Chain A
Amino acid sequence: KAGVTQTPRYLIKTRGQQVTLSCSPISGHRSVSWYQQTPGQGLQFLFEYFSETQRNKGNFPGRFSGRQFSNSRSEMNVSTLELGDSALYLCASSFSGDQETQYFGPGTRLLVL
């Protein structure tokens, strides 16, 4: 069974631009969660989608948004990029999201210049 895939793996953007990251969950998984990893803040929860609905959202500004499609694939978008948005963005999938193991993709490394 294929694991969680994320595209692109690396991305360089400039301040003010926007970016869209993609995540394909493990086949059969309906929950997709997104996390941001930075050296100073560690791994922080961004949001979670289940059956195309956002079920929970972390403490991030509205510039961070996401969506999920009917095939459970998910995208996250960051608008008006800031230098501090440079991070490793990770998505994780599970069957239902609740009290389950989440399996992570390799991440997308975003550098904002």
Chain B
Amino acid sequence: DQQVKQNSPSLSVQEGRISILNCDYTNSMFDYFLWYKKYPAEGPTFLISISSIKDKNEDGRFTVFLNKSAKHLSLHIVPSQPGDSAVYFCAASARSSNTGKLIFGQGTTLQVKP
């Protein structure tokens, strides 16, 4: 039972355009969400997070949107740069778990073309 899903395995965009990565979840107990970026053979790098009390969080070129009713979140990268090419994971946690347990999606490979 995959509680966090990233249905698009890959995404290709042109440099300077917007990249939109999507993530869906099924567990209504999830109330904290994160996006990580990962290069091969390296650990994930934290990008941005959002609590369920918000519907938007922005940090520079990165914005995360949360739609609780649809159980959907998205990461917008504007403008996209070639250095953004990597695998992006969304992750979720539930306050009720009271522990550091993150549930990850399968990842979306973003390619930004110069």
Contact = CB atoms under 8 A, between A and B. Distances in A.
Interface string A36-76: 00000011110010100001101000000000000000000
Interface in B19-34: 31-32, 34
A45 B43 contact: no
Most buried by B among A4, A58, A88, A99: A99
Interface string B94-108: 010111111111110
B37 to A, nearest CB: 11
A43 B99 contact: no
B62 to A, nearest CB: 14
Given A42-B105, A43-B104, A101-B34, A106 B99 contact: no
The main secondary structure of chain A at its interface with chain B is: strand
Contact of B101 (A45, A88, A103, A105): A45
A97 B43 contact: no
A61 to B, nearest CB: 18
29 contacts: A4-B43, A6-B43, A33-B102, A35-B104, A42-B105, A42-B107, A43-B104, A44-B104, A45-B101, A48-B100, A55-B98, A56-B97, A56-B99, A56-B100, A56-B101, A58-B101, A90-B43, A92-B100, A94-B100, A96-B100, A97-B99, A97-B100, A98-B95, A99-B32, A99-B51, A102-B46, A104-B36, A105-B43, A107-B41
Given A42-B106, A104-B46, 13 more contacts: A4-B43, A43-B89, A45-B101, A48-B101, A50-B99, A90-B43, A92-B102, A97-B99, A99-B31, A101-B46, A104-B36, A106-B42, A107-B43
